[in-house]
Each structure stands twice: as C-alpha cells, then as structure tokens.
Amino acid sequence: MKSNNANRKKSQKSEISPIGKAKMIQERAYELFVKRGSVPGHELEDWLQAEREICAPEDHHETA
C-alpha cells in the first residue's frame, strides 16, 4: 500500500496545471522574500529559487 501512496503523490505533482504551478512558485517566491526580511531587490533570485524548488524532481528537493 505504501508504494501506491507514493506513486499517487508523484502522479498528483506531475498533474498540476501550469496556472497552479505558477501560483505555487509565486507563493514560494513570496515566502523567500519574507524570510529575507521583505527587502526588495531580489525578486528574480526569489522567483528562480522558487522555480527550482517547485519544478525539481521529487527526489532532488532540498530540505529547509
């Protein structure tokens, strides 16, 4: 049963719509911005980091 749940989670992740994925990236980029103290000027870095985290294969995610 456990492997079925893991496969289902992977399947759900790959089925995220482009709009849903963009929303997840946007939310993560905002979290990174806040974590840095809400200091402007690093929007691109935050967005690219969020993309790497959201779009990376499941087994390559970094733990924070």
Per residue in 2-45, pLDDT (tens digit) is 445 444 445 555 688 999 999 999 999 999 999 999 999 999 99
**What pLDDT score was predicted for residue 40?**
95
pLDDT at 1 over 50: no
Write down the pLDDT at residue 59: 54
**Count of alpha carbons within 13 angstroms of residue 51, beta-carbon side:** 8
For residue 17, the 8-state DSSP code is -
Residue 29 CA to residue 21 CA, distance in Å, equals 12
**pTM exceeds 0.75:** no
Q: Which two tokens stand for residue 35?
A: 């974590």
User: What CA–CA distance (Å, rounded) separates 3 from 7?
Assistant: 6
Q: How confident is the model at residue 47 (pLDDT cuts 50, 70, 90)?
A: very high
